[in-house]
Amino acid sequence: REGADYRDKAAQVAIEAVRKACVLGMRMSELAGGSGGKAVKDDLSPVTIADYAIQSLIEQELSEKGLLSDGTPLIAEEDAGNMEFDATEVGKLVNSVVPTPTPTETTTTTEAEDEDDARKQRWWILDPIDGTKGLVSPNLADQYVIGLCLVEEGQPVVGVMGLPNWAKCDLDEEEVCGQGILIAAQKGRGTVAMAVDEDGEGVGASHPGELVSVDGSRTFEEATLLMSKSQDFFDDSLLLGRAYRGRKPKKVLKACCGSLVKYAAVALGLCSLYIEHPVKGKEDLKVWDHASGVLCVTEAGGTVSDLGGDPLFLGKTPCSHFRPGGLGVICSNGRFHPEVVSKLGAEVDR
């Protein structure tokens, strides 16, 4: 089935920006893993020149289309002030995909907002590369995701995830028609997926895409559980293992890297359940690791909640972190979500 072609401007621009970012990611995968393209942040997580180039590209795209302002800012993961790479080189990489516009080409006007929209708190959330370890990994099946989301009054209303390396992913057994995949959702209008290639063909803002939906598993025993490669379902240190002791899902898959690839797998119907377990000393979660994925899953028919069963609230005002109830997240196809909430809640209360 084809998706709707009545997206508003924000959704169209977001899709086109992430498409271009996917092309840049495909072209940069080897460079990012080289000694000149990788560094380590203060929290010891890796960062590459690709992170900064993709962030710069998307910020440029949103700005040129009049979608960034003091009232609608961009909250992004990387801090350009702490960048350890040559800004000129970053600019060259961006311009290889999106040439710098001349003054006559630059968008100087912004579409008028209606009075209700103008009063709403809106902001963009960007993770230029969620799962940087996947970008630099020698394992070709490892993934990384470009996640862009427009948040309004604490809830995502436009969400786009780009997976430039999806054709090599071992989660999807079906043949992929492109090198990568782009998943997009707009509140109330469903979730669509479309192929994207390094030559930039196969997807665009006007492409309707194909509507996708979560899988039909009705019970935990019928479900396909998705976990990080470092986790083990039978590990008693995890809430899920303790909550479902004596019961097993139909299948357990593992994926690397980052949270957004797990949201993508649920939205595409490749798995039924993903749990972001509480981590000691990590009470607040990064908004950009979840925002775009939340909308893509819910618009595909799934459910995303905190451990108490409440929808995730991403903040009253633009922010980089949020604190879910129970300090964890449940992402599922929705069909047995209440049972998971009940089981995990019982373990949290012990």
Q: How many CA atoms lie within 13 A of 1 on its CB side?
A: 8
List pLDDT tens digits, range 298-309: 999 999 999 999
When pLDDT is cut at 50, 70 and 90, the band that residue 233 belongs to is confident
Q: 29 by DSSP, 3-state: which? A: helix
User: For the ranges 156-170, 191-205, 223-237, 286-300, which has the lowest average pLDDT?
Assistant: 191-205
When pLDDT is cut at 50, 70 and 90, the band that residue 338 belongs to is very high
Name the burial class of residue 328, with classes exposed (0-12), middle (13-18) and buried (19+) by CB atoms within 10 angstroms of its CB.
Answer: buried
- Do residues 61 and 98 touch, judged by C-beta distance below 8 A? yes
CA distances in angstroms from 182 to 14, 125, 192, 262, 343, listed in the order given: 11, 17, 8, 14, 34
Q: Which of 343 and 206 is assigned the larger pLDDT?
A: 343
**What does residue 198 show for φ and ψ, rounded to 5 degrees?**
-65, -25
- Do residues 154 and 315 touch, judged by C-beta distance below 8 A? yes
User: For the ranges 204-213, 245-254, 271-280, 309-318, which has the lowest average pLDDT?
Assistant: 204-213
What is the model's pLDDT at position 36? Answer: 47
Q: What percent of the chain has pLDDT over 90?
A: 49
**Interatomic CA distance for residues 3 and 186, integer angstroms:** 11
**Interatomic CA distance for residues 312 and 146, integer angstroms:** 20
What is the model's pLDDT at position 4? Answer: 45
128-150 CB burial, b ≥16 within 10 A, e <16? bbbbbbbbbbeeeebbbbbbbbb
What is the model's pLDDT at position 135? Answer: 83
Q: List all residues 6 or more positions away from 90 whose beta carbon is below 8 Å from its beta carbon.
A: 49, 52, 53, 56, 83
Amino acid in position 253: L
List pLDDT tens digits, range 257-288: 889 999 999 999 999 999 998 888 888 999 99
Q: Which of 176 and 182 is assigned the larger pLDDT?
A: 182
- Do residues 144 and 132 touch, judged by C-beta distance below 8 A? yes
Q: What is the mean pLDDT of residues 292-318?
A: 95
Q: What is the mean pLDDT of residues 199-228?
A: 81
Q: What percent of the chain has pLDDT over 70?
A: 75
List pLDDT tens digits, range 107-163: 433 344 444 554 578 999 999 999 888 888 888 788 999 999 999 999 999 999 999
Q: Which of 23-37, 168-182, 227-241 has the highest average model confidence (pLDDT)?
A: 227-241
When pLDDT is cut at 50, 70 and 90, the band that residue 333 belongs to is very high
Q: Is the peptide bond before 296 cis (omega within 30 degrees of 0)?
A: no
User: For the ranges 48-57, 59-68, 182-191, 335-344, which has the lowest average pLDDT?
Assistant: 48-57
- Do residues 205 and 196 touch, judged by C-beta distance below 8 A? no
Q: What is the mean pLDDT of the chain?
A: 82
Q: Which of 19-23, 29-33, 242-246 has the highest average model confidence (pLDDT)?
A: 19-23
When pLDDT is cut at 50, 70 and 90, the band that residue 201 belongs to is low
The whole-model pTM stands at 0.86
What is the model's pLDDT at position 16? Answer: 93
When pLDDT is cut at 50, 70 and 90, the band that residue 6 belongs to is very low
Q: What is the mean pLDDT of residues 209-213?
A: 91
Q: 119 by DSSP, 3-state: which? A: helix
List pLDDT tens digits, range 44-72: 466 788 888 899 999 999 999 999 999 99
Q: Is the predicted pLDDT of residue 37 greater than 60, yes or no?
A: no
What is the model's pLDDT at position 228? Answer: 86
- Segment (H or E) for 34: none
Q: What is the mean pLDDT of residues 195-201?
A: 74
User: For the ranges 49-53, 59-63, 183-187, 250-254, which has the lowest average pLDDT?
Assistant: 49-53
Q: Is the predicted pLDDT of residue 79 greater than 90, yes or no?
A: no
Q: Strands of 303-306's sheet, edge to edge?
A: 251-255, 224-228, 273-276, 329-332, 303-306
